[in-house]
Amino acid sequence: MSVSRKAGKKKEKKEEPKAGIREKLAEMLELPKEIVMNIPKMTMIGNKDLIIENYKGIIEYESNRIRINTGAGIIKITGDLMTIKEITSEDILVSGNISSLEFLK
């Protein structure tokens, strides 16, 4: 999928005192945070496509609700007519009408 990264939003999870040092280090050395901190990088195109890189696994998959386990907790995607367009061990591409995105602890 050729997804333009500019169009996407970046959502990152902050803190955990341990991760603090890593985050500072990443910021200081300008390293990609998602790699250093082992958190997902998400790219969204409107509400149609969502690419989650650096995820851990699928927890639940229904056409109106998907839960994905990541380093920043569980991401719950709700919407309708959602399909997994592509899935590899690095990233997952969900497409459909996405209505909300939630981080669960």
Partner 1 sequence: MLLLRLWNYIRGYVIILVEGYFLEKFVNICVHRQIFLWDIKRSKNSALTLKASIKGFKAIRPVARKTKCRVRIIKKKGVPFFLNRYRRRKAFIVGPFLFILLLYAMTSFIWSVEVTGNKEIGYDLLIETLARNGIKPGVLKFGIDTDRVVNNMILEIDKLSWVSVTIKGTKAKVQVAERTVAPELVPKNVPCDIIAKRDGVITSVIVKDGYEMVKAGDTVVKGQVLISGRVPIKNETEKVRYVHSIGSVTARTWYEKSSQVNMKRVQKVKTGRTKDHISLILFTKRIKLFSGEIDFADYEKVEIRKRLSLGEDLVLPFEIVIDRFYENNVMEEELDIEEAKKLSADSALSEVMRDIPPDAKILKTYANYVKDKNNGLVAKVTVECLEEIGLKKEIGGE
Output 23 or 91, the one with its CB closest to partner 1: 91
- For partner 1, the binding residue among 63, 97, 99, 100 (CB under 8 A) is 63
Quick check: 1 and 91 in contact, CB under 8 A?
no
CB atoms within 10 A of CB 27: 11
In whole angstroms, how close is the CB of 56 to partner 1 at the nearest point? Answer: 9
Should residue 83 be labelled a site residue for partner 1 when binding is judged by CB under 8 A?
A: yes
Quick check: 85 and 1 in contact, CB under 8 A?
yes
Tokens of 41: 């990088």
For residue 38, give the DSSP letter: T
Q: Which stretch binds partner 1 (CB under 8 A): 8-16, 24-32, 44-52, 58-66?
A: 58-66
Should residue 59 be labelled a site residue for partner 1 when binding is judged by CB under 8 A?
A: yes
Under the rule (CB under 8 A), what is the footprint of partner 1?
A: 1-2, 57-63, 83-89
